Amino acid sequence: MGGDLRVARMGFGAMRLPASTRGGPANDRATVLGVLHRAVELGVNHLDTAAFYQQHELAANELIRTALHPYPPGLVIATKVGPSRGPGDPYPTGQLPASGLRAEVERNLRELGRDQLDLVYLRPGGLDTPMEESIGERFSVLAELREEGLIRHLGLSHVGLTQVEEARAIAPVTAVQNRFDVTRPEDTDLLAVCERDGIGYAPYFPLGGFGIPDDERVTTVAARHGATVPQILLAGLLALSPVMLAIPGTSSRVHLEENMVAADLRLTAQDLSVLRSRP
């Protein structure tokens, strides 16, 4: 990513470390610290986190620092800024203004124990926020922090092509993180732009989001390979484009190890034809 960050295509998303479900009880601390250790043992060198990934007394950034600091050479940690979370909110519901982004970047630096953040995504709004709004003012703040050396590379999350073009006129965009999985490939135009221009594409909810999709196309391919549905969802993503980076999240060591196997699955042209067929 960005010409100088070499990452394995199967990474790890930290959203489910504090709690396995949105608004659910906090996970067992020792268990999720063990999951992080195991992820690195299995070759993960790309972690995706955010300061607002927090549930009750557990916070993803603190767990990552406790488990892995001092960080192994080559470990890339990406984080996100933009959403705001009010007191008592189970998840972010608002947006930080441009004036609040520096403090959020500094919070991530402090919590992760780093002098520079490898990759910072600007995420404007939440899942239901229209993606047509201007992001220039907020992205400019992050561009300034990049010039100061606090951020190495910049990315965008939950955005449309217009916003990507607006941001690229201000500073280089290294990666995009939009919702995408093989059962709902609705962002193909932006993915094509990323592929053309060498921009990493690391979709959130690569396993469907709030529950594994019940999709006959995926189960057909899974049966052919003797694989699980999540493994085919991940392998299918990686087969779509060379710039695709998977960041499945889990608080389970069993699921982590299952996900990692997907990086070695090789889908055939017939498999891909099935996955791309109309449901």
Cis peptide bond upstream of 70, omega within 30? yes
Q: Which of 79-83, 126-130, 132-136 has the highest mean pLDDT?
A: 79-83
**How far is Cα of residue 173 from the mean position of the Cα atoms in its chain?**
15
In a domain, 223, yes or no: yes
Per-residue model confidence as pLDDT tens digits over 239-259: 999 999 999 999 999 999 999
CA distances 118 to 47, 48, 135, 174, Å, are 10, 11, 21, 11
Mean pLDDT of all residues in 3-7 = 94
Q: Strands 117-122 and 12-13: what pairing? A: unpaired
Single out the catalytic residue among 53, 71, 121, 201.
53
pLDDT at 128: 56
Asked if residue 151 has pLDDT above 60, the reply is yes
Mean pLDDT of all residues in 78-83 = 96
Q: What percent of the chain has pLDDT over 70?
A: 96
In a domain, 104, yes or no: yes
- Provide the domain count of the chain: 1
In a domain, 2, yes or no: no
Residues 6+ apart with CB under 8 A from 99: none
Q: Angle, nearest 10°, between helix axes 29-41 and 253-261?
A: 20
Domain residues for the domain of 119 are: 12-276
Mean pLDDT of all residues in 77-82 = 97
**Better pLDDT: 101 or 57:** 101
In a domain, 3, yes or no: no
264 class by beta-carbon count within 10 Å (0-12 exposed, 13-18 middle, 19+ buried): exposed
Quote the tokens at residue 90: 């189970």
pLDDT at 130: 52
CATH number for the domain including 195? Answer: 3.20.20.100
CA gap 204, 15 in Å, rounded: 10
Q: Give catalytic status of residue 53 as yes or no.
A: yes
Per-residue model confidence as pLDDT tens digits over 183-203: 988 899 999 999 999 999 999
Residue written as token pair 């790309």? 46
CA gap 22, 27 in Å, rounded: 12
9 class by beta-carbon count within 10 Å (0-12 exposed, 13-18 middle, 19+ buried): middle
In a domain, 1, yes or no: no
Mean confidence (pLDDT) of the chain? 93
Predicted TM-score (pTM) of the model is 0.95
Rounded to 5 degrees, φ, ψ at 12 are -145, 130
pLDDT at 242: 96
For every residue of the chain, which 3-state class applies, written as one string?
CCCCCCCCCECEECCCCCECCCCCCECCHHHHHHHHHHHHHCCCCEEECCCCCEECCEEHHHHHHHHHCCCCCCCEEEEEECEECCCCCCCCCEECCHHHHHHHHHHHHHHHCCCCEEEEEECCCCCCCCCCCCCHHHHHHHHHHHHHCCEEEEEEECCCHHHHHHHHCCCCCCEEECECECCECCCHHHHHHHHHHCCEECCECCCCCCCCCCCHHHHHHHHHHCCCHHHHHHHHHHHHCCCECECCECCCHHHHHHHHHHHHCCCCHHHHHHHHCCC
Where is average pLDDT lowest: 22-26, 65-69, 253-257, 273-277?
22-26
